[in-house]
Amino acid sequence: MTCAIVGIGRTEYTRKSGRTTRAMAVSACRAALDDAGLTSDDVDGMCTYQVNDSAHPLEVSLALGKSELSWANSMYGGGNLVADQIATAAAAIEAGLCRAVLVYRSLNGRSGYRFGTVEGPMKVPGDNQFDAASGFLVPPQWFAMWARRHQQVYGSTCEDLGRIAVSQRSHAAANPHALRREPLTLDDYLASRWIAEPFRVLDCTSEVDGAVAILIAGDDVIRGTAQPPVWLVGSSNSQSGASFVGWDDPTEMYSRTAGPRLWDKTGLSASEMDLACMYDCFTYTVMATMEDYGFCGKGEVGSFYAEGRATYGGDVVVNPHGGLLSEGYIHGLNHHFEAALQLRGAAGERQVDGAGLALVTAGGGPFGGANIYSKERP
């Protein structure tokens, strides 16, 4: 059985939603059902992933008017699990466990719990206690260390990172749903405040409140949907047990194995992608994973962006919606929304001409994965 995205939904992305994560999840799921021309009766599976705050599938399904699901799953994790959630939903359908699955992520990532916020005694649980001894407590510190190593080994620069941020902001200008649409120049980037060298604030994702839902279905459901299906061609994951401090080569990420594995499984290559929604919790995540997935060689991302190869008219359009850096950080599920919109040809002013294939990546550091979507049935 081949699975496809048949519905997409989301809430507004804001800095203060004033809503619960369950209310936003329900809104996004209803929007995805409406988009597909289906009702909750057509859905018998739900899954989500969560760090800090979210809403359990059973709570959301009940609010949608469903008292029972054939399959439900909630995994603990962040951006590293997005590709896995999509692949798992498709696998559940192909295994006959359910017919259609709502994959959603809902969070108050700005007004609710935020990394770096400490209330009461400061405690570092589990394996993180070993990284904490070196001063690493939150993601900007981990990834900044990795970016610095890339600079030392390959000669990449802050300007190279800045061009990623500037390019994505220029794309966000055409996206009315993006949180940050104001113009950004390289000089603006270089003048922004430091967070953890070599990261400035504009190297970091934009925290938002909001929710996204993706409806995935098998053949029997697809035939009755309102939108053209966006087909899932293949998925790949690489989840390492190594910590950020214990990883052997910070100039590479999980994508050094997940990338070749994905191309092997699908028979496709980076050069065939019309757009790439690259997971961008930080600019460096884009830099390292674009190299690992094969869009360019190691140490060449700076010139790839400087030459205009990562935007309209270039080799591939990277994050046409502005990405997590400028549209907002919904833990990467908004990348899948954008890929589906583009492959439908419904992205409006930011539409990628002739978009037929899209790569969507998830995660960074030692763990993550990717999915490929196609306009045509594989």
pLDDT digits (tens, 9 = 90+) for 222-280: 999 999 999 999 999 999 988 888 899 999 999 999 999 999 999 999 999 999 999 99
Q: Is 373 a catalytic residue?
A: no
Mean pLDDT in residue range 97-126: 80
Residue with tokens 């200008």: 173
pTM over 0.85: yes
Query: Averaged over 70-96, what is the pLDDT?
Result: 94
Q: Report pLDDT digits (tens) over 98-110.
A: 999 999 999 998 8
pLDDT in tens, 191-231: 999 999 999 999 999 999 999 999 999 999 999 999 999 99
Tokens 């900044």: give the residue. 144
Percent of the chain with pLDDT over 90: 87
Confidence of residue 115 (pLDDT cuts 50, 70, 90): low
Q: Does domain 138-206+233-378 have CATH number 3.90.1150.10?
A: no
| Alpha-helix runs per DSSP H in the chain | 21-36, 57-63, 82-94, 128-132, 139-154, 158-172, 186-191, 219-222, 255-266, 283-292, 301-306, 323-326, 333-344
Q: Active site residue: 279, 284, 293, 305, which one?
A: 279
Answer with the residue of higher pLDDT: 32 or 114.
32
- Least confident range of 72-76, 111-115, 322-326: 111-115
Counts of helices then strands in the chain (DSSP H, E): 13, 12
Maximum Cα–Cα distance across the chain:
57
pLDDT for 112: 82
Is the confidence at residue 118, as pLDDT, over 60? no
Query: Within 10 Å of residue 23's Cβ, how many Cβ atoms?
Result: 17
- At 122 the pLDDT is 61
User: How does the average pLDDT of the chain come out, rounded?
Assistant: 94
Could you give the CA distance from residue 147 to residue 103 in angstroms, rounded to a whole number?
Answer: 32
Residues 281-294 pLDDT 10s: 999 999 999 999 99
Cα gap 146→236, rounded to integer Å: 23
Computed from CA positions of residues 295, 301, 306, 307, in that sequence, does the dihedral angle turn out positive or negative?
A: negative
The pLDDT assigned to 54 comes to: 84
Mean pLDDT of 52-79: 92
Q: Is the dihedral of CA 175, 176, 179, 185 positive or negative?
A: positive
Grouping H, G, I as helix, E, B as strand and the rest as coil, residue 148 is helix
Question: Whole-angstrom distance between the N-terminal and C-terminal Cα of the chain?
Answer: 11
The predicted structure's pLDDT at residue 241: 84
Per-residue pLDDT at 1 exceeds 70: no
pLDDT over 80 (residue 137): no
DSSP string, 47-109: EEEESS----HHHHHHHTT-S--SEEEEEE-SGGGHHHHHHHHHHHHHTTS-SEEEEEEEEET
pLDDT at 369 over 80: yes
Residue ranges per structural domain of the chain: 4-112+207-222, 138-206+233-378
Beta bridge partners of 76: 50
Q: Which two tokens stand for residue 182?
A: 């104001």
Evaluate whether the domain defined by 4-112+207-222 bears CATH number 3.30.70.270. no
Residue with tokens 């390019």: 167
CB 249 within 8 A of CB 145: no
pLDDT band for position 317 (cuts 50, 70, 90): very high
Q: Is 76 a catalytic residue?
A: no
pLDDT at 26: 98
Which of 254, 284, 329, 373 is flagged as catalytic? 329
Which token pair is 72? 């439900």
Of 88, 91, 87, 111, the C-alpha closest to 20 is 111
Cβ partners under 8 Å of residue 105, min gap 6: 48, 49, 50, 54, 82, 211, 212, 330, 331, 332, 333
What is the pLDDT, as a whole number, of residue 52? 72
Confidence of residue 138 (pLDDT cuts 50, 70, 90): confident
pLDDT digits (tens, 9 = 90+) for 21-41: 999 999 999 999 999 999 999
Instruction: Specify the pLDDT at position 79.
Output: 86
